[in-house]
Amino acid sequence: MAIVKEHEMHKRRFSRNMGVGLALLAFVALVYGLTIAKMQTGDTMEAADHSPRVSMTPAEPSE
Amino acid sequence: MSDASLNTQSFTNEASFGDFFALLKPRVMSLVVFTAFVGLLVAPVSVHPIVGFASILFIAIGGGASGALNMWWEADIDAVMKRTQNRPIPSGKVTAGEAKAFGITLAVMAVVMLALAANMVAAGILAFTIFFYVVVYTMGLKRVTPQNIVIGGAAGAFPPMIGWAVATGGVSIESILMFSIIFMWTPPHFWSLALFMNDDYTKAGVPMLPVVHGRRATRAHILVYTLFLAPVAVGAAFTSIGGPVYLVASVLLNLWFITGAVKIWRREEDAAIADKYSAERKFFRVSLLYLFLHFGALLAEGVLRNFGMGGW
């Protein structure tokens, strides 16, 4: 038996790795889609860092 | 892992992707997805389709995570019950530790992502659902009291409430009624299963009602809960999520369900053994249809409302 022969176990590991890979890819796509959807619906945005937080900005007095 | 260590392990039992998926209890998850979807759709506030899709997905993952944690905790009794002995942990494909890590990771991820995708109320109810199912039901009640599924049934009843909260950001009478329908439906559903799977539960030492108080008492309990369920289910027809379609469906379904419960109540044990619990098995199947059609009717009302029909 050749030493390079693939064991059935490797097939199962491949299926698991492929599954995890595809799940992660789908997760990235979903978060991207969510971001776009939230931007489209005009939800309150807060940038990551070094910018004023929308929720902490005092409301402007009405005239 | 080095090649040398391969022979020391029972790697023929190594888990595939499907085994980890099986830890999520896909069949239970399908019920979670369906009821959460209905809760989301019948709510008076519309949700962006991607936000709706993501929310349902995270609710499903949260539900699946509780399933994995349930299997981790119950690996010992799953191994002795015929119905569950092929699950990934008792069959040796996934270790209990792997299931625990998998469940906790998915649970945390699902709650955090639902908070980001929808709102804190929905995420809070999801977190409570997971806690309730895993800690209160699985670890606390299941092996202690024959009322285990009555109280534990609450965990399965939360998904439509979460769906509703995703859309509205709150809780209201409609979402509480959807919760109540599943909550009241769970005992007759599971007790009818326990009637014909009694031996399994006895072997595993789970104090299900037929094990502790006998089948006669279980039959009476099924009837009482079915009678209590009917007004709750029909009552939902007169709220903002109900309408004539739901009312007709609910009345017919409840008549069907009550008829089945009366039949089970009146049956003698000898007759049940003689026909291998055919009436109980039928009642169990009807109970699945009962819940599916109730939420299907709510969904129909929601869709009709979008076209200017449905509702009162």
Residue B188 lies in a domain: yes
* Residue B308 pLDDT class (50, 70, 90 cuts): confident
Residue B249 lies in a domain: yes
8 Å CB contact of B48 and A16: no
Q: Considering only residues 3 to 62 of chain A, which have any Cβ-Cβ distance to chain B shorter than 8 Å? A: 8-9, 12-13, 15-16, 18-20, 30, 33-34, 36-38, 40-41
Radius of gyration for chain A, computed over Cα atoms and rounded to the nearest angstrom: 24
Nearest CA in chain B to A40: B48
All residues of chain A having their beta carbon less than 8 Å from the beta carbon of residue B21 are 19
Nearest CB neighbour to B48, from listed A8, A19, A37:
A37
Q: Is the pLDDT of residue B9 over 60?
A: no
Instruction: Report, as an integer, the average pLDDT of B20-43.
Output: 94
Q: Are residues B154 and B24 in the same domain?
A: yes
Q: Is the pLDDT of residue B201 over 90?
A: no
In Å, how far is B90's CA from the nearest CA of chain A? 19
Q: Are residues B30 and B166 in the same domain?
A: yes
Nearest CA in chain B to A36: B50
Q: Are residues B242 and B149 in the same domain?
A: no
Residue B13 lies in a domain: no
Residue B112 lies in a domain: yes
Residue B12 lies in a domain: no
Share of chain B above pLDDT 90, in %: 72
Nearest CB neighbour to A34, from listed B11, B15, B50:
B50
Q: Are residues B289 and B265 in the same domain?
A: yes
Q: Are residues B199 and B242 in the same domain?
A: yes
Q: Is the pLDDT of residue A61 over 70?
A: yes
Q: Could you tell me the residue range of the domain that residue B137 belongs to? A: 18-171
Q: Are residues B139 and B192 in the same domain?
A: no
Which residue in this structure is represented by tokens 């008792």? B90
Q: Are residues B187 and B167 in the same domain?
A: no
Question: What CATH number is associated with residue B45?
Answer: 1.10.357.140
Instruction: Report, as an integer, the average pLDDT of B56-84.
Output: 94
- Whole-number pLDDT of residue B208: 87
Q: What is the pLDDT of residues A1-41, one digit of tens each?
A: 556 677 777 877 888 899 999 999 999 999 999 999 988 88
8 Å CB contact of A34 and B117: yes
Q: Are residues B117 and B187 in the same domain?
A: no
Number of domains in chain B: 2
Residue B10 lies in a domain: no
ipTM summary value? 0.78
Nearest CB neighbour to B16, from listed A16, A34, A37:
A16
Q: Are residues B184 and B166 in the same domain?
A: no
Q: Are residues B100 and B62 in the same domain?
A: yes
Residue B11 lies in a domain: no
Q: Are residues B177 and B310 in the same domain?
A: yes
Q: Is the pLDDT of residue B8 over 50?
A: no
Mean pLDDT of chain B: 91
Q: Are residues B68 and B189 in the same domain?
A: no
All residues of chain A having their beta carbon less than 8 Å from the beta carbon of residue B48 are 37-38, 40-41
Instruction: Report, as an integer, the average pLDDT of B204-225.
Output: 90
For residues B35 and B22, give the distance between their C-alpha atoms in angstroms, rounded to a whole number.
Answer: 20
All residues of chain A having their beta carbon less than 8 Å from the beta carbon of residue B119 are none
Q: Whose CA is closest to B69, among B155, B138, B152?
A: B138
pTM of this structure: 0.87
Residue B6 lies in a domain: no
- Whole-number pLDDT of residue B306: 86
Last residue of a domain, one of B111, B140, B171: B171
Q: What is the pLDDT of residues B170-187, one digit of tens each?
A: 999 999 999 999 999 999
- Whole-number pLDDT of residue A63: 58
